[in-house]
């Protein structure tokens, strides 16, 4: 991975102090070109299975990336003007050049944001565009990018090789038949593009389609999901299917980190309400809580790594949700408790040798108070990197400053980019590597680490920890 030439300053994101910057640059030179492990994200597996050309610049950079259109929407630009597909069948802009011009006209909005860092890096290093995107060069940008996308060098698999992406994990729901991962079987690419099991579609009792989804789960597994035990068996069946398609991890995007440890009779009664559509909000939360504990038990059985991504108020803009659906930039972080919320699960399974849980948060106030002490004690817990709204230079620095003294480096899992924007992956990893080197360099110049030890830790943060945490060999 080679990032940072020309008008992209090679010292970007390092300290302004010359001595610290020199140390950071030296450490960075040792890890800059290590392969990328992308163990959690939301890229489309179809890209890698079919290996077709991306159509145009708009399809690649705007339409799938809620980081981009979220900012534009905040300034009064409608998602329909950006070509974002609608759930309700309403009209949306179809001219990709017009949409691209809209991005260029408003590119100034992204000043000092991580999106700007990623986009500038991709434009420069991948497409050789050295001038900043602006209204005057929008057509030139669009034409250059779109033309290059038609060459074989810009097919998804070729780009994976160019970016030195050793492995990428996609994320699919429990009901997904995994056709694209099936297509990869026997090609050699099934070892580089793997899936992740995310059962929110059959676990989140607040979903509008939960009753239908539980019934579908029964149909595709042959289990009787009208019963509590049949439902659990069906989830186990799906986990095994995902494992056969390369999955080493599960993922759980719950509103909270709440867990529960109910009796079998209580579980059966609660499931009866959920599966028939007769549960209230309190019961739905309790069901999610119980299911996190149940799924932790399954992870002990099959040794899949469990990721918990709580603390997002999903689909906060109800009008936008009704028109465009999920993952359209209207999810908002919420205050999140971990100490009390996780205790039922940890009381039951927290000392089990085969349990591996990676915790994420959108609530930075919990870093030093809750998450670092928890990961600094329970052998089953590791801390995921600064996530989503905090996947940024300052967010990454805050994460290191607030967690390292209590949890250390070895109770973290390196970096994962969590992106739908495929071409931003090397840029995102470049930012993470630079920030880690900046943090380590500060420890070196303060004589808290030797330069040799700092370089060794940098490699672990960049490459080793992700492979170990996600059991990637």
Q: Tell me the C-alpha distance between 6 and 185, whole Å.
A: 40
Flag whether 450 is in a domain. Answer: yes
Joined tokens for residue 62: 């705007």
Q: Tell me the C-alpha distance between 411 and 372, whole Å.
A: 9
Averaged over 114-137, what is the pLDDT?
96
pLDDT of the residue at 432: 98
Which structural domain, as residue segments, surrounds residue 112?
55-154
With 90 as the cut, is the pLDDT of residue 8 above it?
A: no
Flag whether 2 is in a domain. Answer: no
Whether the CA torsion 351, 357, 358, 360 is positive or negative: it is negative
With 90 as the cut, is the pLDDT of residue 376 above it?
A: yes
- Which CATH number does the domain housing residue 183 bear? 3.20.20.140
Nearest-CA neighbor of 107 among 62, 66, 144?
62
Joined tokens for residue 268: 């059966």
- Phi, psi at 359, each rounded to 5°: -100, 135
Whether the CA torsion 183, 184, 185, 190 is positive or negative: it is negative
Number of domain units in the chain:
2
Query: Is 361 found in the same domain as 322?
Result: yes
Nearest-CA neighbor of 261 among 293, 238, 297?
293
Query: Is 94 found in the same domain as 27?
Result: no
- Which CATH number does the domain housing residue 113 bear? 1.10.2020.10
With 80 as the cut, is the pLDDT of residue 403 above it?
A: yes
Query: Is 347 found in the same domain as 223?
Result: yes
Joined tokens for residue 23: 């140390």
Q: Which helix (H) or strand (E) holds 231?
A: helix 228-244
Query: Is 268 found in the same domain as 140?
Result: no
Q: Which helix (H) or strand (E) holds 285?
A: helix 281-302
Q: Tell me the C-alpha distance between 429 and 37, whole Å.
A: 9
Residues 6+ apart with CB under 8 A from 439: 397, 400, 401, 404
Flag whether 4 is in a domain. Answer: no
pLDDT of the residue at 473: 83
> Across all residues in the chain, what is the average pLDDT?
96
Banded pLDDT at 313 (limits 50, 70, 90)? very high
Query: Is 294 found in the same domain as 149?
Result: no
Q: Tell me the C-alpha distance between 354 and 362, whole Å.
A: 27
With 70 as the cut, is the pLDDT of residue 262 above it?
A: yes
* Contact in structure between 163 and 122 (CB atoms under 8 Å): no
Query: Is 303 found in the same domain as 235?
Result: yes
Cα 127–chain centre separation? 25
3-state helix/strand/coil string of 290-358: HHHHHHHHHHHHHCCEEEECCCEECCCCHHHHHHHCCCCCCCEECCCCCCCCCHHHHHHHCCCCCCCEE
> What confidence tens digit (pLDDT) does each residue in 219-250 have?
999 999 999 999 999 999 999 999 999 999 99
Nearest-CA neighbor of 438 among 7, 2, 5, 19?
19
Percent share of the chain, pLDDT over 70: 99
Strands 165-169 vs 36-38: parallel, antiparallel or unpaired: parallel
Choose one of 90, 123, 154: the last residue of a domain: 154
With 60 as the cut, is the pLDDT of residue 3 above it?
A: no
SS3 8: coil
SS3 451: helix
Flag whether 3 is in a domain. Answer: no
pTM across the whole model: 0.96
Residue 90, phi-psi category: left (phi > 0), alpha (psi -120 to 50), beta (remainder): beta
Flag whether 8 is in a domain. Answer: no
Joined tokens for residue 169: 């994990």
Averaged over 354-370, what is the pLDDT?
98
Query: Is 429 found in the same domain as 315?
Result: yes
* Contact in structure between 357 and 273 (CB atoms under 8 Å): no
Q: Tell me the C-alpha distance between 80 and 12, whole Å.
A: 36
Query: Is 224 found in the same domain as 195?
Result: yes
Q: Tell me the C-alpha distance between 304 and 137, whole Å.
A: 48
Query: Is 180 found in the same domain as 67?
Result: no
Give the number of other CB atoms < 10 A from CB of residue 352: 15
> For tokens 């239908």, what's the residue?
212
Flag whether 10 is in a domain. Answer: no
Banded pLDDT at 391 (limits 50, 70, 90)? very high
> What confidence tens digit (pLDDT) does each residue in 81-111 have?
999 999 888 999 999 999 999 999 999 999 9
Flag whether 280 is in a domain. Answer: yes
Averaged over 174-179, what is the pLDDT?
98
Flag whether 451 is in a domain. Answer: yes
pLDDT of the residue at 7: 64
Query: Is 166 found in the same domain as 80?
Result: no
Residue 76, phi-psi category: left (phi > 0), alpha (psi -120 to 50), beta (remainder): left
Choose one of 154, 188, 218: the last residue of a domain: 154
Query: Is 138 found in the same domain as 42?
Result: no
Percent share of the chain, pLDDT over 90: 95
With 50 as the cut, is the pLDDT of residue 422 above it?
A: yes
Query: Is 169 found in the same domain as 309?
Result: yes
3-state helix/strand/coil string of 121-137: HHHHHHHCCCCCCCHHH
Strands 332-333 vs 312-313: parallel, antiparallel or unpaired: antiparallel
With 90 as the cut, is the pLDDT of residue 6 above it?
A: no
With 80 as the cut, is the pLDDT of residue 406 above it?
A: yes
Q: Tell me the C-alpha distance between 382 and 407, whole Å.
A: 9
pLDDT of the residue at 64: 84
Joined tokens for residue 420: 């739908």
One-character DSSP codes across 382-435: EEPPS-GGG-SHHHHHHHHHHHHHHH-STTB-------S-GGGHHHHHHHHHHH
Choose one of 87, 119, 154: the last residue of a domain: 154
Banded pLDDT at 304 (limits 50, 70, 90)? very high
């Amino acid at each position: 991975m080679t990032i940072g030439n020309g008008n992209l300053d090679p010292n970007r994101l390092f300290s302004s102090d010359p001595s610290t910057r020199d140390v950071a640059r030296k450490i960075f030179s040792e890890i800059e070109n290590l392969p990328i492990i992308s163990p959690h994200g939301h890229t489309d597996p179809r890209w890698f299975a079919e290996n077709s050309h991306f159509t145009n610049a708009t399809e690649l950079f705007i339409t799938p990336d809620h980081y981009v259109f979220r900012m534009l929407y905040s300034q009064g630009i409608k998602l329909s003007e950006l070509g974002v597909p609608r759930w309700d069948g309403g009209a949306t802009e179809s001219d990709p050049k017009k949409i691209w011009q809209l991005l260029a006209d408003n590119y100034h909005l992204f000043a000092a944001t991580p999106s700007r860092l990623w986009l500038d890096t991709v434009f420069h290093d991948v497409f050789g565009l050295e001038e900043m995107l602006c209204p005057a060069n929008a057509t030139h940008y669009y034409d250059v990018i779109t033309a290059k996308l038609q060459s074989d060098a810009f097919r998804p698999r070729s780009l994976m090789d160019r970016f030195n992406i050793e492995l990428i994990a996609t994320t699919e729901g429990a009901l997904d038949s995994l056709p694209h991962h099936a297509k990869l079987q026997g090609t050699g690419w099934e070892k580089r593009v793997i899936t992740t099991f995310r059962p929110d579609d059959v676990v989140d009792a607040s979903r509008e389609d939960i009753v239908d989804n539980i019934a579908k789960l029964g149909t595709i597994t042959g289990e009787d999901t009208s019963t509590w035990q049949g439902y659990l068996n069906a989830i186990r069946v799906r986990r095994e299917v995902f494992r056969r398609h390369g999955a080493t991890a599960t993922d759980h995007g719950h509103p909270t980190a709440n867990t529960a440890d109910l009796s079998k009779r209580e579980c059966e009664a609660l499931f009866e309400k959920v599966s028939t559509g007769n549960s209230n909000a309190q019961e739905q939360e309790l069901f999610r809580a119980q299911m996190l504990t149940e799924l932790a038990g399954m992870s002990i059985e099959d040794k899949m790594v469990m990721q918990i991504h709580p603390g997002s108020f999903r689909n906060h803009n109800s009008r936008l949700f009704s028109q465009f659906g999920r993952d359209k930039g209207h999810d908002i972080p919420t205050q999140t408790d971990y100490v009390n919320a996780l205790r039922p699960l940890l009381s039951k399974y927290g000392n089990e040798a085969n349990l591996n849980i990676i915790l994420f948060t959108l609530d930075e106030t919990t870093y030093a108070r809750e998450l670092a002490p928890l990961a600094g004690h329970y052998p089953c817990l590791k801390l995921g990197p600064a996530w989503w709204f905090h996947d940024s230079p300052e967010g990454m620095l805050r994460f290191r400053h607030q967690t390292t003294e209590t949890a250390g480096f070895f109770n973290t899992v390196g970096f994962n980019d969590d992106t739908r924007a495929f071409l931003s992956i090397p840029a995102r990893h470049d930012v993470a590597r630079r920030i880690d080197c900046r943090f380590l360099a500060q420890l070196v110049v303060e004589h808290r680490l030797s330069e040799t030890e700092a370089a060794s830790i940098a490699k672990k943060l960049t490459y080793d920890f992700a492979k170990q945490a996600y059991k990637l060999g």
